[in-house]
Structure 1
Amino acid sequence: MGWADGDSLGVRIRLAFGATIADGADAWTWTDVTEYWHAPDPIEIEWGRQPGAEQAETSTLQITLNNTDGRFTAGNLDSPHWPHIDTWVPISVDIDLGDGGGWRNRFSGYVRRWPVTWPGRSGKLAVARVEAVGLLGRLSRGTPASASPWRRMITSRSLSGLLAYWPCEDRVNATQAASGLPDGRPMAVTGDVRFADLASDIVANSSGLSLGFGSRLLPATAGGNRAASMSGGTLTGLVPAGTSDPLEWSVCWVARPVTSVSTYAMLRWETPGGSFTQWEYRHATPMNESGLWGRAADGTWVQFVSLYDDSPTLREYRVEAWQDSPIWLGLRLWVDGIKVEDDRWVVTLGRVTRVTVNPRATDVTALAVTQVQVWDTATPPHLGVHGMTATVQPIDGYGETVYPHQRWVNETAHDRLARLCAEDGVPLDMPAVDRSMVMRMGPQPDGAPLALYQQCETTDLGLIYESGFGLGYVPRASRYNQEPALTIDSAARRLGGDLEPVADDQRLRNVITVERIGGSSATAIDRESVAVRGEIAGSVPGGISLATDDRLQDHAAWRLHIASGLSVRYPKISMRLHNHASRALAADWVACRPGSRVRVVNAPTAAPASTIDQVIVGARETITGRRDWVAELATEPAARWDVAAADGAQRVAADGSTIAAVSESGLTLTMTSTIANGPWTTDPSDFPLDLRIGGHQGTGGERATVAAISGNGLTQTVTLYVRAVNGISRAWSDGTQVDVWAPAVAAL
């Protein structure tokens, strides 16, 4: 027995008092408070987004808990949950249908308010009307600062062991280099240090190696890393004491070497207490003196690694050291993800205490240094090249290759979203994407988390939504040709309220302009619609992030396809899941998420069609007690996401075709095509196919199944199997337009 058989609904309400959000849901301790649920007041849950919304919205929860003993009163010292009756306590609401599927989550989020009221003012009953929001509500708090790609990556929540970090992204008039870590000390400036001076000579470099290096000053880059150039000046930063045991460390930085100056030290770090008290990375002439040097206790300098380093472009450097035994030191040098040296030396190691850029105060006008890091580990993450070496290797599962300068260019939209979420410690649920359907993005800009996530969704035309205490993503590829996840039979009384179809041009656009961020633009136009209604222009605010201009026209055409149809909208489709006829739908319903397809069959006679085909974008659920459960679906038309399949019959209509008058029951049509588009197919293998008689631009009209078409001229004879497939049955007059019921549409 279960919900479908008439049993009551299983409801579970849990709170994670005292949870540390950063630990993640798996580490929280949950307290079941279901017994305090005040069932007469409904549980109200909203999730997804409103129809037409261009970005994800946070889910919300309103639930009432019995608070007669004050256990849910903030500040009540007698509460068993004191002092954790506070904002942002995780809360979860689950249901059990009794079908063996276990608990299904209906809301996961965080408490925003604990208001206490006394219904009826009697004082005998007190309730806490809890209000909560989902993950997006938490992430949208405050005004987070924009961060460069480098800074986001280096300070990722998934990483540990970072002792000191100076992005050197400071503005032109800065007098210090700010720390990239909370409460971190800045680098002090002496002499002539010119911030934000990484300029046009790198942009013009023929190799294009500036692309994707995250420099805010470079017009064509991924945004964010202002560098400091040195003209006889130095930058010095103190490093907190490490705790690694055995002792180990790594020093990393990004710099543009200068070949016009014969010899200079790019970076120095001090390690008192070791056999070598100072280390320097030098750029020198002759070139065999370039590389890593160490200063012994007696003041002499010893070259540990020799490197021919003559590239005048931004490069990533990394020195890793560890105490391999009481007397042996392990040492590795990496440049742009390529391991240059990996050796052992009879040396004892000291901890890093200080880092200095251009320590000899050499006049090196064009030297640019940025992203200086000290790690308390000899195996920090290889941030460059997505953790791969700079050799030709796949980075995203599609056999594509990447080089250091491309690290934030040509990345697929879904890969970027996954990487961004990982950097922020946000779980992401996302299906695999076929290589042929990926969308490759341009440089990643500076940005706050939600804005960067949204750019991925906007470019790919996918759907971001909340999934448990993380996010979910429906890639564009997964939105095509979906099978219905939920079918509601109106004739079986499974609709919970009146249908409210809306036929208007509220969202209609017949001219769409798409601009690539930092690139060109393209415009698509529906000339027929413009001729009838006048121009209704649309665009993508802020543009889209594409790797190249090559697909701009495709984007404009597809977005016009989405926006130009006069599809009937159903802003709200209601189900009363507690009705005997509807209880069987509950299991399908709880499996739905934003992007799921829903069909209403045997719709009321007054509806535009007997089958209503929509995509769920959001919903409102109301649970009152254990017997009353209503779902109101926010939807958008689904047919726009039906596209031509490579392994299916492709039927393209001869546009502009019309028929002679036909009776309500006639099974033969006389059809005339235009000279411009020519006659329809007569190939027997193309039949049966469904025809739309009447209607306009893919909506309305009668659906009829064609058995054959004969005749080679513009006037042909159409033989039908059956009329009124969709329940629309009527006579049609001379000149009525006809079209394929579902014309083949090429996917973006």
Structure 2
Amino acid sequence: MAVPDVRFALDLGGALTDITDDVLVEDTVRHARGRRAEGSTVDASTADLTLKNGSKYNRRNPSSPYFGLLGPNTPLHITTYAGETVLDVPYGVAGRASTPDHASLDITGDIDVRVELEAAAWAGRYTANGWEVAGKYGTTGNQRSWQMLIGNSGAPHFRWSPDGTVANLISRDAETAVPFGPGAVGAVRATLDVNNGSGGWTLAFYVAPSLAGPWVLLEDPIVTTAGTTSIFASTAPLDIGDNADLGFGTVGRRFRAAEIRSGIDGTVVASPTFTAQASGAGSFADSAGRTWTVANGASITDRRSRAVLGVPEWSPRWRPSGHHVRTPIQASGILRRLGQGAKSLDSALRRRMPSFNPVAYWPMEDGREAVQAYSPTAGVAPMRVTGLEMAADDSLPSSLPLPVIGTASSLKATVPSHSASGWHLEFAYRLDDDPGSLQTLMEWTTTSSPWKIWRLRVGNNLMNLIVEDGEGATTLVLNSGATGWFGTGWGRYLIQATPNGSNLDLHSAWITLGAGGFQSNGTLATTSAGRITGINTRFGAGLDGAAIGHLVVFGNDDTETFSSADSGFTGERAGLRIERLGGEESIPVLMAGSTAAQEQMGPQLPTTILDLFGECEATDGGILLEDRDRAGLVYRGRSTLYNQTPRLTLPYSKLAPPMEPVDDDRLLRNQTTVRRDGGSWATEARTDGPLSIADPPDGAGLYDQDVTLSLADDDQCQRIAGWLTHKGTWDESRYPSITLRLHSHPELVADACRVDVGDVIRVTDLPSWLPPGDLDLLVEGYEETWGPFSWEITFSCSPAGIWNVSTAAPGSRTDTAGTELGVAVDADDTTLVVDVYQGRLWTTDPADCPLTVTVGGEDMTVTAITGDIEDQYTRTVTSGWGTASSGQAWTLTGGSNSEYSVQGV
């Protein structure tokens, strides 16, 4: 297919309408995405184009065929020829390619499953616990054979049933994630040996760049000795993609090929190769004779989405003569809309309560002059307050300022009539001191029979709950010791009443924020549950100075109301907060990367949604960007940027000039102070080397920065300060932009289309006037332009070497901080005496040898390491060797037991 081939479509009334013929490509269409000018945050994507026939695109013109369909943020889809054909299963679509059951597919013995695909996120968070790769698996009629999935951690999962039932289903997960980043192409493989000859079965997982291999064992085989196994010969079809009977996550996937083999490395019984099919094909036959049909929203296509944007404005323009009517538009990504007139979000508690459908809720976050507490619950009247100092306590991180109890303070409110199956009352409180004698903290009324008035009292190291029948009779329900309930900051109290036959079970709990809590249970005999009818509290005089807020009533015995929200979700991982906030605000979010590797956030404070997203991005150090396949967001956690395989490799000769280095101090930061918002701080400085804080010529002089972040604890400050200083002192020239003309190099289209913000591009065969070796660049953003015969992409870049980090695995090792020869050696020497002058000593374990070191520019194999004193070792080497002198520095470059390489200092 000719390059370029760009198409434009508007989503009009839920249907995509192709408008490519109305786009003036001679004016050049421009699309920009990601960070620009080496900014710290991603800008909203934009696309600038001009539409012919301005009357058609005047949203207020009743003669337009699109009248009533155009409006603010009408979705605009931009797609291009992708350079390859795939089975595309978009996000949110449970699509598949399927072939019917066949005798050759009824594998009951050893099986070998191989699939090559590209996933929007191999590891991340989805609507369920993972996503489906392939399977012959039917739940109806117990027709389960086998299935391969990828879990949220990025680790493969394989399951099978010997008899087709779920009762005998055998499931195993790998403990290791596949080594593929977001949007990367990779191949996964599972082999099951149903009888390994040792009375058991063996399951193994492999990965490779493609089906062609080479296959690498992901981890040691998963083996059980509980007996041999088999696979049920079901009548279910074989699916690549989503299974029709299941409901796992629907992350975007682009399948390239698959192989199902009977026996490990055995006969190929199914081999759909989607890259060999014609774009738009609905069915095809594979080389094994199986006929495949595309279903449920999947498609075989050679097109790829470049952007899904919104058109905020439709403003036709014309010449004075009234001719040449045109509609120039600038479509924008979802970040633009989210930043337009955005108000601060409510507090974490105020946002959470409505999602639990309370029958009454009073946040009590009203202003200082308020004489009532507003309720956001429909049909609930404000609470009357007396004697409270409103908005006086701002120490609860999950809330706006709350009232403080004064002398003769009271609360009075009516709870609307509602259906109830028990009830639940809960509120937040702060009691700095034990009031000494029992004081009323909360009083409420119910329709329970016979007990209608409920009074909670605290003091004298006790929590005390009494009930009255309204005619003077009382009974003590709970009377618990309250050690630790006072002077510990904010907490909350909850009580739940659950019918139990003719009795009423009570659960009462005091939870201290971030420090556990206490509970007490009891039963009221011959008592109906009823419902809560009102709040009528006259606070005890001894509670002056206590604070209270977020009083909520439920018509059931709910238990999760305040969980995590009471602390403002402190400790929540950055990507999980973005995902949760996206769900609360109806913003689609794909979270890419391991959540366990992300930084933990401090309390979620009331601010705009983009500010909250930005806090997460800044704390974790990842990238928040717009989704190219839908109007939503993607969060790439920091760990997804580490140690990447280049997404696009191209020789220097295929780049458009100029590719010019910049070697300045614009981004130099050699001392960083990181402060926890509301907490402590730590400083890290680079003290040696040409970019250190030392004055020239020993260093660059001081370039400092002071950063305040949302952090869960003070310990995070030190490591983040170290990381930011590492980034700020990376000693490498910057190449702010490189340009690729795809119309001149159509063979690069497939790889170039996969490149997104956060991916790595490698430039090879650099000219002699540049440093030797390959150049790895991290993509910060890009701008692409389409003309009648041109397609040009300019990538905004930063050094990718910053993100190449050491990773430790069992059996791995690092270099010492400093080692040099203690005695000069000649060409025939095979024993070296060395001095460890800094850092830890070298291993003397024979199991760690042989290993490879570089001395004087030559690699040497070390066969033994001995030494009797702290800083002198003798190393025996077996390689050839040129003359080196005393004081020659060592560099560890890896060895047979090493899983990564680092340089000594």
Per-residue CA distance 1:635-659 (angstroms, 9 max, x = gap):
11011111123245635675999xx
Give the Cα–Cα distance (whole angstroms) in 1 for the partners of residues 311 and 635 of structure 2. 24
- 2:304 alignment partner, SS class: strand
Matched to 1:586, the amino acid is: V
Structure 1 residues 104, 303: CA separation in 2 closer, same or farther (over 3 Å shift)? farther
Q: How does 1:128-277 map to 2 (within 5 A)?
A: 128-145=327-344, 147-155=346-354, 159=355, 161-162=357-358, 164-180=360-376, 186-190=382-386, 192-198=387-393, 216-217=394-395, 221=397, 224-237=400-413, 250-256=424-430, 260-264=436-440, 266-268=442-444
Corresponding residue for 1:642? Answer: 804
The Cα of 1:78 is off from its aligned counterpart by 3.9
The Cα of 1:171 is off from its aligned counterpart by 4.6
Confirm whether residue 544 of structure 1 aligns to residue 709 of structure 2: yes
Give the Cα–Cα distance (whole angstroms) in 2 for the partners of residues 718 and 490 of structure 1. 39
Corresponding residue for 1:587? Answer: 750
Per-residue CA distance 1:212-265 (angstroms, 9 max, x = gap):
xxxx336xx5664524425322233455676x6x88865432234665342526
The Cα of 1:605 is off from its aligned counterpart by 3.6
Give the Cα–Cα distance (whole angstroms) in 1 for the partners of residues 417 and 68 of structure 2. 35
Corresponding residue for 2:902? Answer: 744
Percent of aligned positions that are identical:
23
The Cα of 1:479 is off from its aligned counterpart by 1.9
Matched to 1:510, the amino acid is: N
The Cα of 1:53 is off from its aligned counterpart by 2.0
Asked if 2 retains the 8 angstrom alpha-carbon contact of 1:510 and 1:525, the reply is yes
Give the Cα–Cα distance (whole angstroms) in 1 for the partners of residues 506 and 24 of structure 2. 64
The Cα of 1:563 is off from its aligned counterpart by 0.5
Give the Cα–Cα distance (whole angstroms) in 1 for the partners of residues 328 and 455 of structure 2. 62
Asked if 1 retains the 8 angstrom alpha-carbon contact of 2:573 and 2:601, the reply is yes
Structure 1 residues 289, 645: CA separation in 2 closer, same or farther (over 3 Å shift)? closer
Asked if 1 retains the 8 angstrom alpha-carbon contact of 2:426 and 2:551, the reply is yes
Match of 2:624 among 464, 470, 481: 464
Confirm whether residue 507 of structure 1 aligns to residue 667 of structure 2: yes
Corresponding residue for 2:650? Answer: 488
Which one has the bigger strand percentage? 2
Give the Cα–Cα distance (whole angstroms) in 1 for the partners of residues 858 and 785 of structure 2. 41
Give the Cα–Cα distance (whole angstroms) in 2 for the partners of residues 176 and 676 of structure 1. 71
Matched to 2:5, the amino acid is: L
The answer to which of 633-642 and 588-597 deviates more is 588-597
Asked if 1 retains the 8 angstrom alpha-carbon contact of 2:349 and 2:568, the reply is no
The Cα of 1:266 is off from its aligned counterpart by 0.4
Q: How does 1:308-327 map to 2 (within 5 A)?
A: 308=480, 310=482, 311-312=485-486, 314-318=490-494
Corresponding residue for 1:54? Answer: 40
Asked if 2 retains the 8 angstrom alpha-carbon contact of 1:281 and 1:292, the reply is yes
Asked if 2 retains the 8 angstrom alpha-carbon contact of 1:45 and 1:621, the reply is yes
Structure 1 residues 434, 232: CA separation in 2 closer, same or farther (over 3 Å shift)? closer
What root-mean-square deviation, in Å, do the aligned CA atoms of Structure 1 and Structure 2 show?
4.9
Corresponding residue for 1:423? Answer: 584
Give the Cα–Cα distance (whole angstroms) in 1 for the partners of residues 890 and 853 of structure 2. 16
Corresponding residue for 1:369? Answer: 548
Per-residue CA distance 1:39-79 (angstroms, 9 max, x = gap):
424332222112532223222222333344x3422333444
Corresponding residue for 1:89? Answer: 74
Q: How does 1:2-17 map to 2 (within 5 A)?
A: 3=1, 6=2, 9=5, 11-15=7-11
Structure 1 residues 12, 676: CA separation in 2 closer, same or farther (over 3 Å shift)? same
Give the Cα–Cα distance (whole angstroms) in 1 for the partners of residues 785 and 455 of structure 2. 65
The answer to which of 499-508 and 601-610 deviates more is 601-610
Match of 2:779 among 610, 613, 616: 616
The Cα of 1:295 is off from its aligned counterpart by 5.5
Asked if 2 retains the 8 angstrom alpha-carbon contact of 1:514 and 1:556, the reply is yes
Corresponding residue for 2:478? Answer: 306
Confirm whether residue 455 of structure 1 aligns to residue 634 of structure 2: no
The Cα of 1:482 is off from its aligned counterpart by 1.3
Asked if 2 retains the 8 angstrom alpha-carbon contact of 1:463 and 1:475, the reply is yes
- 1:639 alignment partner, SS class: helix
The answer to which of 229-238 and 473-482 deviates more is 229-238
Give the Cα–Cα distance (whole angstroms) in 2 for the partners of residues 417 and 545 of structure 1. 13
Give the Cα–Cα distance (whole angstroms) in 2 for the partners of residues 294 and 9 of structure 1. 79
Give the Cα–Cα distance (whole angstroms) in 1 for the partners of residues 572 and 450 of structure 2. 42
Matched to 1:415, the amino acid is: L
Give the Cα–Cα distance (whole angstroms) in 2 for the partners of residues 449 and 295 of structure 1. 48
The Cα of 1:371 is off from its aligned counterpart by 0.8
Matched to 1:617, the amino acid is: E
Matched to 2:814, the amino acid is: Q
Asked if 1 retains the 8 angstrom alpha-carbon contact of 2:853 and 2:892, the reply is no
Give the Cα–Cα distance (whole angstroms) in 2 for the partners of residues 740 and 106 of structure 1. 44
The TM-score with structure 2 as length reference comes to 0.60
- 2:748 alignment partner, SS class: helix
Match of 2:761 among 578, 593, 598: 598
Asked if 1 retains the 8 angstrom alpha-carbon contact of 2:671 and 2:683, the reply is no
Matched to 1:42, the amino acid is: T
The Cα of 1:598 is off from its aligned counterpart by 1.2
The Cα of 1:9 is off from its aligned counterpart by 2.7
Corresponding residue for 1:106? Answer: 306
- Flag structure 1 segments of 5+ consecutive residues without an equivalent: 18-28, 199-215, 388-403, 658-670, 694-703, 723-734
Give the Cα–Cα distance (whole angstroms) in 2 for the partners of residues 434 and 143 of structure 1. 28
- 1:617 alignment partner, SS class: strand
Structure 1 residues 628, 175: CA separation in 2 closer, same or farther (over 3 Å shift)? same
Give the Cα–Cα distance (whole angstroms) in 1 for the partners of residues 731 and 603 of structure 2. 36
- 2:402 alignment partner, SS class: coil
Corresponding residue for 1:475? Answer: 637
Corresponding residue for 2:562? Answer: 384
Corresponding residue for 2:317? Answer: 117
What is the number of equivalent residue pairs in this alignment? 636
Structure 1 residues 251, 736: CA separation in 2 closer, same or farther (over 3 Å shift)? same
- 2:582 alignment partner, SS class: helix
Asked if 2 retains the 8 angstrom alpha-carbon contact of 1:261 and 1:364, the reply is no
Match of 1:498 among 631, 654, 658: 658
Give the Cα–Cα distance (whole angstroms) in 2 for the partners of residues 16 and 275 of structure 1. 59
Give the Cα–Cα distance (whole angstroms) in 1 for the partners of residues 841 and 461 of structure 2. 74
- 1:559 alignment partner, SS class: helix
The Cα of 1:184 is off from its aligned counterpart by 7.7
- Flag structure 2 segments of 5+ consecutive residues without an equivalent: 89-300, 512-518, 822-831, 866-871, 894-899
Asked if 2 retains the 8 angstrom alpha-carbon contact of 1:51 and 1:635, the reply is no
Matched to 1:598, the amino acid is: I
Confirm whether residue 522 of structure 1 aligns to residue 698 of structure 2: no
Give the Cα–Cα distance (whole angstroms) in 2 for the partners of residues 269 and 38 of structure 1. 68
Structure 1 residues 139, 240: CA separation in 2 closer, same or farther (over 3 Å shift)? farther
Matched to 1:428, the amino acid is: V
Structure 1 residues 287, 707: CA separation in 2 closer, same or farther (over 3 Å shift)? closer
Structure 1 residues 121, 571: CA separation in 2 closer, same or farther (over 3 Å shift)? farther
The Cα of 1:384 is off from its aligned counterpart by 3.0
Asked if 1 retains the 8 angstrom alpha-carbon contact of 2:642 and 2:803, the reply is yes
